[in-house]
Amino acid sequence: MPLRGCPAAGSLLVLLLAACATRAAEITFELPDNAKQCFYEEIAQGTKCTLEFQVITGGHYDVDCRLEDPDGTVLYKEMKKQYDSFTFTASRNGTYKFCFSNEFSTFTHKTVYFDFQVGEDPPLFPSENRVTALTQMESACVSIHEALKSVIDYQTHFRLREAQGRSRAEDLNTRVAYWSIGEAIILLVVSIGQVFLLKSFFSDKRTTATRVGS
Amino acid sequence: LALYFHSGEREEKCIIEDVPSDTLVIGNYKVQRWDMHRQEFLESAPGLGMFVTVTTPDAEVLLSKLYGPQGTFSFTSYLSGEHAICLQSNSTRFVAFAGSKLRIHLDIRVGEHFLDESIVKAKDKVNDVKIKLEHLIEQIHHISREQNYGREREEKFRKTSEETNSNILWWAVVQTLILISIGIWQIKSLRDFFISKKLV
């Protein structure tokens, strides 16, 4: 017990350092048509990073994505992708840039979600200054924490897929409604118009005994 | 505060957060202005502030405040759905300059727990585990709220699909009826017409 006094400060420092190296940013934003949106992040060398994105609503549910390192070398470039996940290790220090582009679309704007994870998560119980191994309680906490993190991750994926499915279903519903109304109107107009047109052929005084029908 | 993006001086940038009800959302931001003379982003720009506006899924304004160049804002959602967090600078001076832009650093945490600060306060073993347990409990509550929200969304989805289904069915029936009745009317009308014209 008395040994916990000093290590607390040490583990605080370690945790702060670890916290600096670990970040996760997930953002959902709207990308207007013909627009491009870029995001930048400073990454230290050797950090393992993951970029994951998904298009939630809009048009054909696709977007162009491009990831560049500080030198401008393109690490990842895909056109018209609906969903993808890309992991890479930073080869040098600097500002990495990734862009989403909707420039190929003329009038649909898209909602894009991305999740950019830098570094691994810090351990729940920092082990650098410990004298004893983790107690049972602490190991239980650690495993519950890991399980919950993956539950939250799956939940997010599920939510995004559901939002996308729902968006498609609502599109379908609107299209079916409008198209059906349109078709009914066209049907009425054309059939009534046909009869009056035919009648108008026989209204002239020029022809008298033209045989009708086949 | 590592992730950043660029924005025009007067441009409004919005982030969408789809959250269940009773969820705390905390946002941290920092904004820097591009300096034309030094050709770089200034570390601090006095007088520069950001309007932060948060709207609920029903387009009601939940939060609308002016913060400084760096700030933290938070709100608790009372409705579930897509909330929009919009940032716009209050700058009025450099509107005439082309090429003037802002760099906005942003970090948004949803239903989140302050793991780091909790550890700072931990002084002994029992407290440490207790704080971790509280953090886990909060995580579980967040998951439970999200699942509830998921159930609501699935219900909405199912309603939409069923509406589409009944729309298709009903309009097909209506169109068939129109076809048949128009067909009958056409034949009758033409027959009467030709009889009256003494062609048949």
Q: Could you read off the pLDDT of B103-129 as tens digits, one per residue? A: 888 988 887 665 555 555 555 666 777
Q: Which residues of A touch B194 (CB under 8 A)?
A: 202, 212
Three-state secondary-structure class, residue A208? coil
Are residues A104 and A60 part of one domain? yes
Are residues A117 and A28 part of one domain? yes
Question: Comparing B74-78, B83-87, B100-104, which segment has the lowest mean pLDDT?
Answer: B100-104
Three-state secondary-structure class, residue B155? helix
Q: Is A76 within the bounds of a domain?
A: yes
Contact at CB, A29 and B133, closer than 8 angstroms = no
Are residues A71 and A46 part of one domain? yes
The region, left, alpha or beta by phi > 0 then psi within -120 to 50, assigned to residue A72 is left
Domain count, chain A: 2
The CATH number that applies at residue A43 is: 2.60.120.380
* pLDDT at residue A17, as a whole number: 38
For B150, nearest residue in chain A (alpha carbons): A159
Question: Between residues 59 and 118 of chain A, which touch chain B (CB distance below 8 Å)?
Answer: 111, 116, 118
Contact at CB, B142 and A152, closer than 8 angstroms = yes
Q: Is A212 within the bounds of a domain?
A: no
**A118-130 burial, b for 16+ CB within 10 Å, e for fewer?**
bbeebebbbeebe
Q: Which residues of A touch B16 (CB under 8 A)?
A: 28-30, 111
pLDDT tens profile A135-176: 788 888 888 888 988 898 898 899 899 999 999 998 888 998
Residues of chain A with pLDDT under 70: 1-21, 122-131, 204-214
* Distance of alpha carbon A55 from alpha carbon B129, whole angstroms: 40
Three-state secondary-structure class, residue A213? coil
Are residues A28 and A117 part of one domain? yes
Shortest distance, CA B92 to any CA of chain A (angstroms)? 24
Domain stop point among A122, A143, A177: A122
Domain stop point among A62, A95, A122: A122
* Distance of alpha carbon A143 from alpha carbon A136, whole angstroms: 11
* Distance of alpha carbon B196 from alpha carbon B200, whole angstroms: 9
Domain stop point among A67, A96, A122: A122
Q: Which residues of B touch A180 (CB under 8 A)?
A: 167-168, 171-172, 174-175
* pLDDT at residue B190, as a whole number: 86
Cα B73 to Cα A154, B22, B27, B70, B120, distances in angstroms: 27, 16, 5, 10, 23
Write the DSSP symbol of residue A214.
Answer: -
* Distance of alpha carbon B54 from alpha carbon B41, whole angstroms: 27
Q: Domain spans of chain B?
A: 2-128, 135-170
Cα A199 to Cα A171, A194, A203, B159, B182, distances in angstroms: 42, 9, 6, 48, 16
* pLDDT at residue B68, as a whole number: 84
For B122, nearest residue in chain A (alpha carbons): A8
**Number of Cβ within a 10 Å radius of residue A113:** 21
Three-state secondary-structure class, residue A28? strand
pLDDT tens profile B130-148: 778 888 888 888 899 989 9
Are residues A88 and A150 part of one domain? no
Under 8 Å between Cβ of A15 and B118: no
Under 8 Å between Cβ of A185 and A193: no
pTM score of the predicted model: 0.77
Q: Is A205 within the bounds of a domain?
A: no
Are residues A168 and A112 part of one domain? no
Total length of chain B = 200
Three-state secondary-structure class, residue A204? coil
Domain that holds residue A170: 135-200
Q: Which CATH architecture has domain B2-128?
A: Sandwich (2.60)
Three-state secondary-structure class, residue B186? helix
* Distance of alpha carbon A100 from alpha carbon A33, whole angstroms: 11
Q: Among residues B91, B72, B58, B66, which one has the least CA distance to residue B27?
A: B72
ipTM of the complex: 0.78
* pLDDT at residue A20, as a whole number: 41
Three-state secondary-structure class, residue B125? helix
* Distance of alpha carbon A130 from alpha carbon A8, whole angstroms: 10
Question: Between residues 8 and 67 of chain A, which touch chain B (CB distance below 8 Å)?
Answer: 8, 11-12, 15-16, 19, 23, 25-30, 37-42
For residue B185, pLDDT beyond 60: yes
